[in-house]
Amino acid sequence: MKIVAANWKMNKGVKETDEFFKEYGALVKGKKITNKVIICPSFTSIAAALEWGKKNGVSIGAQNVHNAASGTFTGEINAAMLKETGIAYVIVGHSDRRAMNGETDELVGEKVRAVVAAGMIPILCCGENLSERQKNKSEEVVKKQLLACLSGLDKSAKLIIAYEPIWAISKGDGVGPVATDEMISQMHQMIKEFVADVFVGVAPPLLYGGSVNEKNAKEVGSIEGVDGFLVGGAALCPKRFSGIVLS
């Protein structure tokens, strides 16, 4: 069983969410789904997604959370508020947040701990940019990210890690470049070994998040160490996303 997690980013309001699930439901009806499906919509569409998800075995998550429990943080949402909605997962440390909102590894670590403390499962993102890849610093960068983000976390904590090489992420169309099988295998093996060492022998599921789509999902999913996908652009289209889920 693979984990197929969708990050809709800033797309789809309530109406579009309902339309997506109506079409997606029709496409997978009667099909045997062996993969676990998680969809992370925008905050305003969580309720609509939850309603459909509970009836159809799809888990719902959020795309972000604040690290503090409460306070004067206008426009923010804490972990307890998200837990109260009924969601089970929260994406933390996505490259978009790191690049556009200046989120540091230390801040991401605080968010991870807040999500776990609230009884949800963080989907922790890590990955290097093109410059770091070209300088052969991929492993160094990812290890630094993980060490800071997992620091202080109880060894029994449940979490999912998503490796997203930033240079291989598409710009929304889901057809961007994908790292070679060898690159993915090497990084996933390194991450699993590193996290298992940090967590004393236990490594959480590890997703690949670099322009996975319905055409390459089967191949990428067959790479050793890949436990599933974090899907962006291709997850916005019911037909394309169902192709990944059923792969």
Q: What is the pLDDT of residues 152-173, one digit of tens each?
A: 888 889 999 999 999 887 654 5
pLDDT of residue 172: 44
DSSP 128-165: --HHHHHTT-HHHHHHHHHHHHHTT--TT---EEEE--
The CATH number assigned to the domain holding 30 equals 3.20.20.70
Which residue is catalytic, options 103, 110, 128, 164? 164
For residue 140, give both structure tokens: 């160094």
pLDDT of residue 197: 86
Residue 13: give the domain boundaries.
3-245
Average pLDDT, integer, range 96-101: 95
| Catalytic site includes residue 94 | yes
Of 65-69, 104-108, 177-181, 217-221, which range is least confident?
177-181
What are the backbone dihedrals phi and psi of residue 223, each rounded to the nearest 5 degrees, phi first? -70, 135
The tens digit of pLDDT for each residue in 45-96 reads 999 999 999 999 999 999 999 999 999 999 999 999 999 999 999 999 999 9
What is the count of structural domains for the chain? 1
Which residue is catalytic, options 94, 103, 110, 128? 94
For residue 159, give both structure tokens: 């979490």
Q: How confident is the model at residue 200 (pLDDT cuts 50, 70, 90)?
A: low
pLDDT of residue 190: 96
